[in-house]
Chain A
């Protein structure tokens, strides 16, 4: 009798946590779908808020913080360069929290690299060297942690695309890296339905630009 009750209690607990997990996954999937179709700053703001709420309820999950950082960087690209540092600061804060929840995570390092590159826009002449280097170091770490992560190659190719040819960049240098990125996207299987999977459309679009 006692054993049965314990077994049932255990099943109940497992059931509840699985339900909770399901709730988390369902909520994340819903918000990811909304984020993937976001185009405006206001839409990214709404996604940012939604991930903030999920993260607020599930404090041990790194993914909500990761996507909040992603949305923050997207908003930064669409807003005045005067606000860029604010968005990047927020993203960096969130990625630091995500890192403490999931250390040595290739996706987190890749996004940190993207945040550093984003800061260059504010003043390319004075910031190019410093943040270009910082971004490179973070991306190298991301590659080291997971060489199959297609986002690493997308960001590397993107970096080369926007670097002037005189400084070792340009479309010809970017093209092979982006081709590799597209191949890696096709081969990559995210760890779950809510793990990072963004970037393929962007990689393809940039590759087209290179081929022109």
Chain B
């Protein structure tokens, strides 16, 4: 009984009397690696309530009632948490912390030499896909917008991206890993054609100005890598009305099944527009295009995605051009085109491996009448590609793969036919090795073989990138690039070889959320260029070197986004029928652009302008003994655009208006001389200005709104 009483008393005391434990004072400082104070850091005893925040000077002090072997923790958003073992015994404790900044994905260095990326997903990209669409003068064409970036030359009379002294054919377009044989509408003399694909199709764009990955090949100067969208956010229908045509589409999303399917159709007819805005050419049949596309996307697993895209388009136009060698004769140019492009791609992750498979088929038919001559051609390209990549360690990666292309070209000139086929195979291996989050090296090689040339090549590629500061990095790239000569030379190749370019690029850039500054030095040597005089051979060569500068500012002025790009190039080449190395017709010493956009939130309008300038381009003058010694006048263009966001009924609507060359500058791309060299005509744009007006509506099924409204 007595024991019980003692126990009860003891327990009562235990419960009744609040514990008054011994207090230990803990104090110290919190600093970062640069010895700067860190205010607001959390310092506390692990698994206990005791602790405090560091003050404005990075000092902290608190009392703890814990005792014994404990762990003291210091944590702060943006830094790595630090834990230190301490023994708390009553004596005042002094602990200092040095916090290391947490490596976020923004801080990891990436290979940037020769690469400009536009993507919604990554934060370090230079452009977003929406930027491409809202650039004045681009008219919603991906290629039009890319022409405002450094490294590109303004060549108004031909489609294509002319990068650093290279022709448009030296830039290849790749969609989901598959080469696109006809990314532009068929060529019409002196009229640059648009790209076939809408920028809204793509979630990511990587524009290379040289030194690109071993994954890609057959582009002496550049490769434009486009990645299509994955599953849409919601089911939606679209309607487009514009000064050149109409279009409609629908994308259905089955979210539970992880599947979406959609289609889009469009009809373009330039007759009404040409009736209002006079063109230099005389049209016999105004340009008409009918086309559409289908897409299907399915998540094959939680990490796998299967995508199909099918495109078709038919085009038709006929025009008469003044023939400079006659008084009143007008040459007829009549074009009919049919184009089909399909692309099937699949990606899947298995452990640390990623597999990418893709296949594509495209067919392009052109039937051209040139006065009394008929020229027609059918190109068919079937291709397949497989790539496996695997992560190594935290960030490094190795990837390897191969691709196969089967190309057939059949041409006809009046009653003569010719054709060829090519079995092209390529294999590549490449590795990105991260020595630290600040230093990465890429090394790889590509092997190619072409049956029509009956030749192979091996191209080494290497790059290095070093993070030099919180937002800055420097990068180097080197590589060999091979390309099959143009189609015309492949009908009767006679033993010619690939054309070759070697790139050396040095890049320095600073990218923050609001400012981007890039400067790039490049040197490109050309070898084995096709020469047609005195005989068909690969005796041509050349070089291109210079500097690109790019500056983009999204923060200095309220709601304003602008960028300035400048390219200086010194280039000469001896190819085709050139008698010696000279600056080619598609290059200009200086190219500059200023693109400006301002958003007015109160009236929900975005307005902008782009100013493009380039110095004169060389042109052929038979009267000048100096081959390509003449230069055109400097070229100026000031383009304006505005887009207004509103709602018509339930549809999210964008109204767009754009005008190119508003001041009506006289633009000369070159001159064409008569056979006797006595007369010449100007090669310029088909009209002084191009005006485009359009209305785009998107009807989205926004389920959440429905739910909220129903429950009220």
Contacts and interface: CB of A to CB of B under 8 A. Distances in A.
Describe B's contact surface by its main secondary structure: mixed
Contacts of B49: 23, 27, 53-54, 57
Contacts of B704: 133, 136-137, 139-140
27 contacts: A1-B4, A4-B4, A8-B7, A8-B8, A12-B14, A45-B53, A46-B40, A48-B42, A49-B42, A49-B44, A52-B42, A53-B48, A54-B49, A56-B44, A57-B47, A72-B77, A86-B78, A86-B104, A125-B606, A126-B128, A129-B700, A130-B233, A133-B233, A139-B708, A143-B711, A166-B604, A166-B646
A156 interface: yes
Nearest to A8: B11
Contacts of A5: 4, 7
Given A8-B11, A42-B40, A126-B120, 7 more contacts: A4-B4, A8-B8, A46-B53, A49-B40, A49-B42, A81-B513, A140-B708
A107 to B, nearest CB: 18
Given A4-B4, A53-B51, A136-B704, A42 B39 contact: yes
Contacts of B233: 129-130, 133
Interface in B196-218: none
A170 B194 CA distance: 40
B18 to A, nearest CB: 9
Contacts of A137: 703-704
Contacts of B646: 166
Interface string B356-379: 000000000000000000000000
B15 interface: yes
A198 B702 CA distance: 29
A90 interface: yes
B77 A86 contact: yes
Interface in B73-112: 73, 75, 77-78, 104
The 4 closest A-B pairs by CB, nearest first: A136-B704, A49-B42, A45-B40, A82-B513
Interface string A22-46: 0100010000000000000010011
A55 B143 CA distance: 54
Contacts of A4: 4
A168 interface: yes
Nearest to B234: A133
Nearest to A143: B711
Contact of B130 (A81, A125, A166): A125
Nearest to A160: B708
A179 B707 CA distance: 20
Interface string B696-711: 0000101111011001
Interface in B372-419: none
B707 A140 contact: yes
B32 interface: no
B16 to A, nearest CB: 10
Nearest to B555: A82
B647 interface: yes
A190 interface: no
Contacts of B75: 52
Contact of A167 (B4, B8, B647, B707): B647
Contacts of A56: 44, 46-48, 73
Given A52-B42, A133-B702, A167-B652, A57 B48 contact: yes
Interface string A51-65: 011101100000000
A53 B702 contact: no
Nearest to B650: A168
Nearest to A159: B708
Contacts of A49: 40-42, 44, 51-53
A129 B698 CA distance: 12
Interface residues of B, number: 49
A101 to B, nearest CB: 17
Interface string A136-166: 1101100110010000000010000000101
B604 A164 contact: yes
Residue of B11, B512, B601 with highest tally of chain A CB at under 10 A: B11
A140 B652 contact: no
A103 interface: no
A164 B705 CA distance: 15
Contacts of B47: 56-57
B50 interface: yes
Contacts of B11: 8, 11-12
B72 to A, nearest CB: 12
Contacts of A130: 233
B514 interface: yes
B599 interface: yes
Given A8-B7, A53-B50, A168-B647, A136 B711 contact: no
Nearest to B16: A15
B599 A136 contact: no
A53 B44 contact: yes
A53 B47 CA distance: 8
Contacts of A1: 4
Given A8-B8, A133-B234, A168-B705, A125 B77 contact: no
Contacts of A72: 77
B124 to A, nearest CB: 13
A12 B707 CA distance: 51
Contacts of B128: 126
Contacts of B39: 42
A167 B700 CA distance: 12
A79 to B, nearest CB: 10
A105 B238 CA distance: 38
B519 to A, nearest CB: 23
Contacts of A50: 53
Contacts of B7: 5, 8
Nearest to B703: A137
A154 to B, nearest CB: 14
Nearest to B129: A126
Residue of A46, A90, A156 with highest tally of chain B CB at under 10 A: A46
Contacts of A52: 42, 44, 75
A52 B49 CA distance: 9
Interface in A150-197: 156, 164, 166-168
Contact of A15 (B15, B48, B77, B705): B15
B358 to A, nearest CB: 27
Nearest to B73: A56
Nearest to A24: B49
